[in-house]
């Protein structure tokens, strides 16, 4: 069930830009879970931000208070994963457009069963292509590339200990291509870990602050009114 939010729609539905959030609250332009400096945390009182996008995470909340799912290539299930962000409550701002991020509420993230082979192949081609491409190029795709590379070398599925040992070497398995990764997911050799997203609160004052701040920021940065959201 969606979390009930009483805030009026003309405030609740106002979105912001990611560059605005970086300037006012810290972090960077790209990370889903950006690191916030002590200076910014002291200034704003806010630290745990989460910025999912709908191409990579199509089941992210799209309406404030709605539940959702978060996907990650952790190399094992969410329940087995030890990623740093897998606990706590986060302020979720979903990317609805190129520069369009909307505050959804305060969310708890909890581990669930991994995406099945059938669930993966049922996803839109754009989603699957994005994951395969990013995992081939990005540093955070190293675990997936390592698992695929070791599987070729060992002629079997590598153990987690073998994967961890390999990631401690200089080998980053950059020869593993997006096509290799796509095939591994299509075969069910690789699976995306899944976390549930449950809205447990809504910071009305935070959203009101965003509306006030973005209005002033747009007026000062785009005096002609030509701003993309």
Strand 100-111 to 89-97 pairing: antiparallel
pLDDT digits (tens, 9 = 90+) for 112-169: 999 999 999 999 999 999 999 999 999 999 999 999 999 999 999 999 999 999 999 9
Q: Whole-model pTM?
A: 0.90
Map tokens 């996803």 to a residue: 123
Residues of the chain by 3-state class (helix, strand, coil), percent to 5: 40, 15, 45
Q: For residue 80, what are its two tokens?
A: 């087995």
Sheet with 100-111, edge to edge strand ranges: 49-50, 89-97, 100-111, 193-201, 68-72
Q: What are phi and psi of 211, to 5 degrees?
A: -60, -45
CATH 3.40.190 fits 9-114+193-221, yes or no: no
**CA 20/CA 93 separation, integer angstroms:** 13
Q: For residue 50, what are its two tokens?
A: 């989460």
Residue 26 neighbours by CB distance under 10 Å = 20
Residues in the chain: 229
Domain boundaries, the chain: 9-114+193-221, 117-187
Percent of the chain surpassing pLDDT 90: 87
**CA 70/CA 59 separation, integer angstroms:** 7
pLDDT digits (tens, 9 = 90+) for 171-211: 999 999 999 999 999 999 999 999 999 999 999 999 999 99
Confidence grade of residue 220 (pLDDT, cut at 50, 70, 90): confident
């Amino acid at each position: 069930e969606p979390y009930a939010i009483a805030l009026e729609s003309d405030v609740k539905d106002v979105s912001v830009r990611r560059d605005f959030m970086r300037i006012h609250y810290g972090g960077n332009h790209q990370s889903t879970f950006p690191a916030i400096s002590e200076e910014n945390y002291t200034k704003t009182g806010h630290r745990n931000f989460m910025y999912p996008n709908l191409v990579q995470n199509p089941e992210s909340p799209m309406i404030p208070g709605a539940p959702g799912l978060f996907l990650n290539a952790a190399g094992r299930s969410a329940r087995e994963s030890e990623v740093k962000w897998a606990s706590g409550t986060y302020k979720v701002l979903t990317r609805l457009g190129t520069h369009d991020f909307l505050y959804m509420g305060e969310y708890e993230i909890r581990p669930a069963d991994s995406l099945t082979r059938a669930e993966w192949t049922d996803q839109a081609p754009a989603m699957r292509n994005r994951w395969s491409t990013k995992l081939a190029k990005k540093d955070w795709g190293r675990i997936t590339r390592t698992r695929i590379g070791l599987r070729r070398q060992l002629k079997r599925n590598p153990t987690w200990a073998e994967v961890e040992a390999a990631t401690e070497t200089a080998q980053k398995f950059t020869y593993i291509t997006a096509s290799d990764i796509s095939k591994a997911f299509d075969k069910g050799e690789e699976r995306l870990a899944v976390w549930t997203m449950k809205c447990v609160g809504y910071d009305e004052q935070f959203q009101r602050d965003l509306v006030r701040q973005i209005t002033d920021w747009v007026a000062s940065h785009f005096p002609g009114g030509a701003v993309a959201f």
